[in-house]
Structures are given as C-alpha cells and as structure tokens.
Amino acid sequence: MGHFYWTRLTQKKFELYYFSEHFKRCVKINRIINILCAIASSSSIAAWATWQQLSFYWGAIIVISQLIIAINEILPYQSRIKILSDLSAELTPIYYDMEKSWYRVANGSLPEDKIYDICYAYLKQWNAIEEKYFRDDCLPISEKCKSEAEKQKNNYFKSNFDLEEE
C-alpha cells in the first residue's frame, strides 16, 4: 500500500520539476528573442548612419526586429511564463502536504482505505489546479525538460529520504 502512495508522491515531485524546467525554457526563449531584437534594431540604426548606401537592408532589419518584438508578446510561451509560475506556486503546497502525509503512510499508522482517500483527495486537488491553468493551452512534451526533471527528482529523493538500496 505504501508503494501506491510513494509512486504518486514521486510522480508529483517529478511534475513540479518538469513545470519548473518548462518555465526556465520559456524565460530563456523570451530573453534570447528580446536581446537579439534589441541588438539587431539598435545596431541597424547605427549602421544606417554609417553606411547609408545600404539603407534598405538596415531598414528591413529594423522592421523585422520590431515585428518579432510585437509578435513575441502573443506567442504561447509568453503566456506560459505566467501560467507556469502561478501553477507551481499553487501546486507546491499540495506536494508538501502529500509529503507530510507520507510519514503517516510509511509508519503504518493509517488503514489502507484511509491511505486511498488521502491520496485521491490530493490527486483531485492537483488535477483541479492543472485543469484551471491548462484550459486553453497545453504544454509540449520536451525530452530535455523530462530528463532534467527526472534527474532532479531522483536527487531530491536521494538526499531527503533514507532510500532502500535497489
């Protein structure tokens, strides 16, 4: 019975790390686009003043970079930055409650049906929050985020729990 709860607990920690990795990825993409566009438009203005014979090209670079900056505001990862940060803020306390309950599950002080009840109550809460934030959007599966989340989750449980040898 403990294994049933343990599997859900570790999955939820994995999900938190997965969301965190997606968040970092979205912030990184946003930052790169903003920096590149800022460099492109400002350097084009300087270059235009120096090499006026290529004014068409400098003008085109400025227009394109301004266009990218405008489009950037409506790209999905832009909204995901807010969604993922709010989502993690709401899910983390539920995870800690789950982890707190784990100790009662592990020491055998709870009957089996009570463990099921507790576990499904947490899952229900968890999914209600996920559904609230992902009503209009869904996260793309990223293998990089997945493997990084997997690694971080394993490190977390290794350093915070007295794990049995495999």
Of the candidates 21, 23, 13, 25, which has an alpha carbon nearest to the alpha carbon of residue 153? 13
Cα–Cα separations (whole angstroms), residue 41 to 2, 46, 56, 61, 67: 59, 9, 13, 7, 11
7-66: which residues touch another protein (CB under 8 A)? 7-8, 10-11, 14-15, 18-19
Binding mask 116-155 for another protein (x = CB under 8 A): ----x--xx-xx--xx--xx--xxxx----x---x--xx-
CB of 104 to another protein, least distance (A): 10
Looking at residue 54, the DSSP 8-state letter turns out to be G
* CA distance readout (Å), 27 to 65, 76, 79: 19, 12, 11
Binding another protein (rule: CB under 8 A), the pick from 4, 53, 61, 69 is 4
Query: For binding to another protein (CB under 8 A), which residues are involved?
Result: 2-4, 6-8, 10-11, 14-15, 18-19, 106-109, 120, 123-124, 126-127, 130-131, 134-135, 138-141, 146, 150, 153-154, 157-158, 161-166
